[in-house]
Structure 1
């Protein structure tokens, strides 16, 4: 009986994870195709584009690196830009780590390597409603990560034949995806304050200093706003 219940629970976790990650994976398609096409247009081979995507797996940082790609490669500029953009992964990992009590150490290490904005947001939402399990988390990755690689390889092979991505609205894929993630994590007016502070700070930094400074500026402003807007939950205090 216990084994049967365990199997049923695992299947439910898999179904829930696939249901949750399906829409973000679909939204990832135009982004991946676009990146593959842009990367090959900048001189990377399809194999190099795939290796970069497999080892880095950070869409925002990859796009930033491609934007300043040149011959010779400006290594220092690329490292600095991608470091600033990926600093948010430190914050996401710190936020998600307390929810991974069911994970073994190696599962945390491997899982956080594949951490993305989408999987982080869905894992946080899952942890708020139920226990976050390795089955749920790695099922998301099992669909999300291959989707990224397959779509990038498609873009790299098709290259210039894709045409102007704005024609298909692919340039709005990133903003649309993040709007959906914010909506999924919405918890009332306090969330609005955090989002507004982060957006204003990011916009000001982009205007004053240019990318990639808007990413850490938005993150810092969002954290500060969250700290100022936080109020203790009286119901939870009574329970404790």
Structure 2
């Protein structure tokens, strides 16, 4: 276990020293240097991608930093004009179906990763750490649907999410222990449904979770407006 943790730490340090947009060495080279299997490396890269430390382009490789908006034509314009409410509305339409497919197709390794991320959302003590593990959980669920186009759409939605007022509003609502516990319990219920291969329950659990987040974000937005000077 310690060797694996050391390898992940070494990979993180290597990426932090790279310039944004710089391409990582090949998977084969990284596996040889870090003395890990390709499967373990891909788990590391998935975590890093969820944290916006790397991004991947099919046929071109893996690159340091967050995915530039230019790789998604028109996305910068969409990000500039999309509100947190519109973002959540889109997620409410999209992600329950993603969870349904994940319940049907997730591998044991992916389900194990989901449980790990869900547990982390219940024990972290600050909003940035919560956001990290929440994002990793939701992307793991999207990957578990095993549909490349669907995953690209998920990443596009996430890129818009990272370029709206979402983060500021999210910080305002995650800060209370009661709300964090509520969302952690929803995550546990969601992963339990996926692990049980219960497609309808997974879909409903994701819908309830995003509706809960939507209500909290809308409340935070209203409070912010009420504090603005006339």
TM-score (norm 2): 0.33
- Using CA pairs under 8 Å that are at least 6 residues apart, name the structure with larger relative contact order, 1 or 2: 1
Which structure: larger Rg?
Answer: 1
